[in-house]
C-alpha cells in the first residue's frame, strides 16, 4: 500500500518534467538563428588575382604536415578567365577529392573549376578531431571567400554543394548576387529521421548541450566500409549541427527577401534518409513565393536506391554513371 501511495507524487514530477521539456522545445523553436558577425565579400577583380589567392591557399596547405595528400584545394584552369566557372563545395567530413572526377568533366567542357577545402577538413587524422569548434560563421566565411575567388575565374559563376556543402550553397544563394546559379545537392538542412518541425528546436538544444563525438558507423567505427580513405569516420555533434544553424540563418533571410543568386536548382534524392527532404521542400516553397523562373528542382527517384553521398566515385550504390549525366543535363 505505501508503494501505491507514493506513486502519485512521482507521477506528478514526471508530468511536470515532460511539460517543462515541451515548453523548452516550444521556446527554442521560436528563437531566431543568426550569425554572430556579418560576412564581408571581396571579389577578385582579375583572373590573375583569383589564381594568386588560390596559390596562397595551396602554399599554406603545403606547409601542413597533417594534410591528407588527396585533400588539398584544387583548381583546373584554362589559363584565362572563361565564360563559365564552377565551384564545388564538398560534404561534411569529406574533402575536395569528392568532386575530383566531376570537376574534371566540367573542365573538359570548357569550365574553369575550383575545388576548395572546407576548414578543418581533409586531414590525415580520420577521427575528425580538428572539427571540434567548427561553426557556421567559419563555414560562411569560407564559402563567401570561395565565391570571391570564382569571380575572377569566370564571367558566369555556378556554385554546387553536396550535403554540408549544400548547406553553404543554400546560404550563399541568399547572400551573393554575383552567383548566376546556386545548386544545393541533398543539402543538410535537417536530420532525416527527426520530424521537420522538431529539427529547429533540436538544433538549438544540441548546441546548448556539451559537445561529444559520434561515429558515422557506430558498429564498424573507424573501419566503416562506406568511408573513403580521405573522409572522417566520426564527427563532433556541434560541428554537424552548425551546418543546420547556417541553413536556418538562410531560411530566416529567405522569409524576408528573395534570394540574391540569379537562379537556384535544388537536387534531392528520394532514397536519402540522412537529410530531411521535407525541410528542403519547405525552402523550395518559400523561394517559389517570390515568383516563377528562378527556381528549378529535381529529385532522383527512390527506386534508384542511391545513397546520401551520390557523388563520390567508388562508393557503394553511388551509381555515378546515372547521376553524373543527369547533373550535366541540369547544370549547363
Residue in the block written with cell 590573375: 48
Residue in the block written with cell 540563418: 249
Report residue 16's pLDDT band, with 50, 70 and 90 as the boundaries. low
Q: Considering the domain boundaries, does residue 172 fall inside one?
A: yes
Q: Considering the domain boundaries, does residue 207 fall inside one?
A: yes
Answer yes or no: is pLDDT of 213 > 60: yes
Answer yes or no: is pLDDT of 7 > 60: no
Q: Considering the domain boundaries, does residue 182 fall inside one?
A: yes
What CATH number has the domain bearing residue 42?
A: 3.40.50.1820
Q: Considering the domain boundaries, does residue 140 fall inside one?
A: yes
Q: Considering the domain boundaries, does residue 5 fall inside one?
A: no
pLDDT at 314: 85
Q: Considering the domain boundaries, does residue 16 fall inside one?
A: no
Task: Single out the residue of 256, 116, 259, 281 nearest to residue 190, CA to CA.
Answer: 281
Number of domains in the chain: 1
Are the CB atoms for 306 and 269 separated by under 8 Å? yes
Overall average pLDDT of the 258-279 stretch: 96
Q: Considering the domain boundaries, does residue 151 fall inside one?
A: yes
Distance CA 274, CA 175 (A): 26
Q: Considering the domain boundaries, does residue 202 fall inside one?
A: yes
Report residue 21's pLDDT band, with 50, 70 and 90 as the boundaries. low
Structural domain range at position 216: 31-330
Report residue 6's pLDDT band, with 50, 70 and 90 as the boundaries. very low
Amino acid at each position: 500500500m505505501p508503494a501505491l501511495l507514493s506513486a502519485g507524487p512521482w507521477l506528478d514530477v514526471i508530468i511536470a518534467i515532460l511539460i517543462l521539456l515541451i515548453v523548452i522545445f516550444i521556446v527554442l523553436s521560436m528563437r531566431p538563428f543568426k550569425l554572430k558577425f556579418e560576412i564581408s565579400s571581396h571579389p577578385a577583380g582579375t583572373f590573375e588575382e583569383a589564381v594568386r589567392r588560390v596559390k596562397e591557399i595551396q602554399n599554406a596547405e603545403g606547409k601542413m604536415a597533417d594534410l591528407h595528400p588527396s585533400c588539398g584545394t584544387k583548381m583546373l584552369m584554362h589559363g584565362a578567365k572563361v565564360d563559365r566557372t564552377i565551384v564545388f563545395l564538398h560534404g561534411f567530413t569529406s574533402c575536395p577529392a569528392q568532386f575530383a572526377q566531376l570537376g574534371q568533366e566540367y573542365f573538359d567542357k570548357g569550365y574553369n573549376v575550383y575545388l576548395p577545402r572546407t576548414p578543418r577538413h581533409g586531414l590525415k587524422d580520420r577521427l575528425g578531431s580538428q572539427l571540434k569548434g567548427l561553426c557556421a560563421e567559419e563555414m560562411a566565411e569560407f564559402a563567401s571567400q570561395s565565391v570571391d575567388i570564382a569571380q575572377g575565374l569566370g564571367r558566369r559563376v555556378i556554385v554546387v554543394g553536396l550535403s554540408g556543402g549544400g548547406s553553404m550553397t543554400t546560404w550563399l544563394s541568399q547572400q551573393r548576387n554575383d552567383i548566376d546559379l546556386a545548386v544545393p545537392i541533398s543539402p543538410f538542412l535537417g536530420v532525416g529521421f527527426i520530424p521537420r518541425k522538431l529539427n529547429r528546436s533540436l538544433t538549438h538544444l544540441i548546441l546548448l548541450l556539451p559537445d561529444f563525438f559520434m561515429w558515422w558507423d557506430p558498429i564498424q567505427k573507424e573501419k566503416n566500409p562506406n568511408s573513403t580513405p580521405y573522409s572522417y569516420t566520426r564527427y563532433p555533434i556541434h560541428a554537424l549541427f552548425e551546418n543546420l544553424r547556417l541553413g536556418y540563418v538562410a531560411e530566416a533571410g529567405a522569409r524576408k527577401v528573395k534570394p540574391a543568386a540569379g537562379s537556384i536548382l535544388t537536387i534531392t534524392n528520394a532514397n536519402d534518409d540522412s537529410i530531411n527532404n521535407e525541410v528542403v521542400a519547405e525552402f523550395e516553397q518559400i523561394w517559389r513565393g517570390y515568383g516563377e523562373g528562378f527556381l528549378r528542382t529535381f529529385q532522383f527517384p527512390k527506386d534508384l536506391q542511391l545513397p546520401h553521398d551520390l557523388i563520390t566515385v567508388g562508393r557503394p550504390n553511388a551509381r555515378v554513371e546515372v547521376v553524373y549525366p543527369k547533373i550535366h543535363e541540369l547544370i549547363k
